Amino acid sequence: MKPRLPVFLLGARGLLAGEFLRCLSGHRGLLLAAAATRRAGEALHELHPQLPEGPVTVDEAGLVAGLERALGAGPAALVLGLPHGESAPAWARIQARLGPAAAELFVVDLSADFRLPDAAAYQRTYGQPHPLPGELGAWVYGLPEFDRAALRGARRVAAPGCFATAMQLALLPAAQAGLLDAGKPWVLHAVTGSTGSGAAPQEGTHHPFRDGNLRAYALGGHRHEAEVAARFASPPPLHFLPHSGPFRRGIYLTAALPLAGGITAEEAVAAYAARYAGEPFVRLRRDVAPELRHVTGSNRADLGVSARGGVLQVLVALDNTLKGGAGQALQCLNLMLGFEETDGLPLAGLGW
């Protein structure tokens, strides 16, 4: 049996980092080589008690030293698990330290730093200049169901945002087939669990504020809309409204998409069936509403598709920490490195 390829994780404290490490522990071809946090010497199983006992963390310098050694012996992968705005500067430091060897590294970024195609789009969306504008456009956007060909063999991949994943799974089959009326609003609402706000306590995730409550936010627009808009030559008529839900993990999205004239319900549903045929992590359910409990704990998205009165109704349920985050990053890494796309990733949800 050939040796497993080493994976290095920068930013090991976060929720998505913990989920990535959990999936990685069951991967047949990948092996965690080192994980870095700001405070070196932290035991990974204490940061994430769901993990079995394992190594302690190193600092960024120790991680880069490990990368140098690994790249001297063969291919290696780096996962950037840092907050938005921190991945790009960290990647600049790593490139400077590694020099030409950085070009040989396979990198997946979990943050939003490299998802948009150009600096102008980044500034509009995030309200500040991009620290590495020359890198934008060089990273492959990694939604496997729509970017699989580009992901195979790619060296730099930006994992999509959680809402952006749900939105694109909901509307791209119809939009790309020309089935939607671009003169009417494409209305999408989604409810997300508290894990979407990260591990640090705040009013949006603090249990007394969230439990038994439901509220909308980002009324003026959500930054993940820009990822969807980047798919189109001209901006689509998106109207997206996110909600904060009283549960931990998962996203439940409802889309009301106006069908173009002459398009029947049967044609619309058939487009989704054809587009997702054979997809390992998308299950299509006609005239059945998916449920979060069926997909939480899995890397699967369940879609319910129906049409009524000229409106296509698409429902999406997925786990924001897996298909909307760390699981999708590993799915991308599998494609980049030539492994089975499903390796290390749970197909079955928890159910209860």
Which among 94, 90, 121, 120 is positioned nearest to 105, based on CA atoms? Answer: 94
Give backbone dihedrals phi and psi of 257, rounded to 5 degrees, phi first. Answer: -115, 120
Question: Tell me, what DSSP letter sits at residue 194?
Answer: G
332 has catalytic annotation: no
Q: CA 161, CA 287: separation in Å to the nearest integer?
A: 27
Cα three-residue angle 185-197-165, rounded to 5 degrees: 45
**Which positions ≥6 away from 287 have C-beta within 8 Å?**
304, 306
One-letter amino acid identity for 88? Answer: A
Long-range contacts of 135-140 (CB under 8 A, 24+ apart): 135/88, 135/91, 139/109, 139/114, 139/115
CA dist., res. 280 & res. 341, Å (int): 8
Q: Which residue is catalytic, options 162, 228, 253, 255?
A: 162
Q: Is 23 helix (H, G, I), strand (E, B) or coil?
A: helix
Q: Who contacts 108 (Cβ-Cβ below 8 Å, separation ≥6)?
A: 77, 78, 79, 80, 142, 157, 158, 159, 329, 332, 333, 336
Exposure letters 106-131 (e unless 16+ CB within 10 A, then b): bbbbbbbbbbbbebebbeebbeeebe
Planar angle of CA 305, 306, 312, nearest 5 degrees: 95
Catalytic machinery residues: 162
